[in-house]
Amino acid sequence: MGNKSSSKVNSTILTPKAIQMLKANTNFSEEQIREWHVGFLRDCPTGHLTKDRFVSVYEQFYPGGKAKEFCKYAFATFDRDNNGTIDFTEFMLAIALTQSGDLDERLALAFDMYDYNNTGTIDTSELTKVISAMYDLTGETNRKGKI
């Protein structure tokens, strides 16, 4: 028995350590990081982006498509610690990679999304499922010869 100190971190607080890590791993300035954090907390007051909220955001950007299947792959890619939510750090790293990551970083991100069973390879089934999910996302119905 005895006293255990809680190692749980308050996900709504942007620590100096987190800012330094994000500055070192993205092209964002401290001011930009703080601005993104305010917006993130406005949309995710708990400091965690849930899978359902993630899907609803994509549905707003792609109203004519079906976002759920694509979001399954994207969410799993961005949820680096596999805890079922995306925290602010994971969110910012994902934004940085998709906005301005170099080619190798973006290819690694795409590979991670396609290799959703984490085998280190992409098989035909994985490739077909993710591409189909992308077509669903955009509402594309004429897929003849495209998959």
CATH number, domain at 37?
A: 1.10.238.10
User: Which tokens go with 110?
Assistant: 């795409």
What span, in angstroms and rounded, lies between the C-alpha atoms of 88 and 110? 21
* Within a domain: 77: yes
Range of the domain at 52: 16-138
Across 5-136, where does the E strand assignment appear? Answer: 48-50, 85-87
- Give the residue, 120 or 107, on which the prediction is more confident: 120
What span, in angstroms and rounded, lies between the C-alpha atoms of 56 and 15? 28
Check if the beta carbon of residue 54 is closer than 8 Å to that of residue 75: yes
Query: In terms of pTM, does the model score above 0.75?
Result: no
Q: Residue 111: which of 97, 92, 100 has the closest Cα? A: 97
30-42 pLDDT tens trace: 999 999 999 999 9
What span, in angstroms and rounded, lies between the C-alpha atoms of 141 and 138? 9
* Within a domain: 61: yes
* Within a domain: 6: no
46-66 pLDDT tens trace: 999 999 999 998 898 888 888
- Give the residue, 145 or 77, on which the prediction is more confident: 77
* Within a domain: 100: yes
* Within a domain: 45: yes
Which of 16-20, 52-56, 99-103, 117-121 is least confident? 99-103
Which of 22-26, 83-87, 104-108 is least confident? 104-108
Q: How many domains does the chain have?
A: 1
